[in-house]
Amino acid sequence: MKVLLVDDSGTMRTIQKRCLSKLGIEDVTEAEDGVQALERFEAGTFDIVLSDWNMPNMDGLQLLKEIRQRNKDIPVIMITTEAERARVVTAIQAGVSDYLVKPFTPDSLKSKLERWVTSNA
């Protein structure tokens, strides 16, 4: 299981990496924004993408659209503060696979990730 983890916050990447590690996932490639993420997506092979929405240089929505132009099947999960219905609908229309709103409890993050990393293992 190879994960591309995209968030401009190192704190948030650490929280998510620890959660993935508890699920036995250690092969995690990090990116700090959409531009860096797209470079790493094109250079590597991944099974799932976890992405923030609000980031400098290229946001998560644009990253999602770019990924969908290249790969329609890879699961892309948005983990973001963007909780408004209109934003969620926009992400769904752009092809997001799942959505987790920040803030989250450790259990809600774990169960969300568990569902996807288990089904794609």
Partner 1 sequence: MTSTTTGKSELTAEFVNPIIGSTISVFEMMLGCTPKRTGLSLKADHIPEHELSAVIGISGKAAGTLVLSLSKSVGIGILDRLVGISSDEINDEVCDAVCELANMIAGSAKAQLEHLEASISIPNIITGKGHTVHYPSNVSPICIAFDSEIGTFTIEAGFSDR
* Candidate segments 4-12, 21-29, 62-70, 110-118, binder of partner 1 by CB under 8 A: 4-12
Q: What residues from 67 to 96 belong to the interface with partner 1 (CB under 8 A)?
A: 80-86
Helices 60-70 and 34-43: crossing angle in degrees, nearest 10, is: 20
**Interface with partner 1, residue 119, by CB under 8 A:** no
**Interface with partner 1, residue 23, by CB under 8 A:** no
Q: How far is the CB of 30 from partner 1 (least distance, A)?
A: 13
d(Cα 28, Cα 21) in Å, to the nearest integer? 9
Tokens in use for 121? 């293992």
Strand (E) positions, 19-96? Answer: 28-31, 48-51, 76-80
Angstrom CA distances, 62 to 6, 25, 101, stand at: 13, 26, 18
**Interface with partner 1, residue 15, by CB under 8 A:** yes
* Candidate segments 3-11, 43-51, 92-100, 113-121, binder of partner 1 by CB under 8 A: 3-11
Binding site for partner 1 (CB under 8 A): 8-12, 14-15, 18, 54-56, 80-86, 101-105
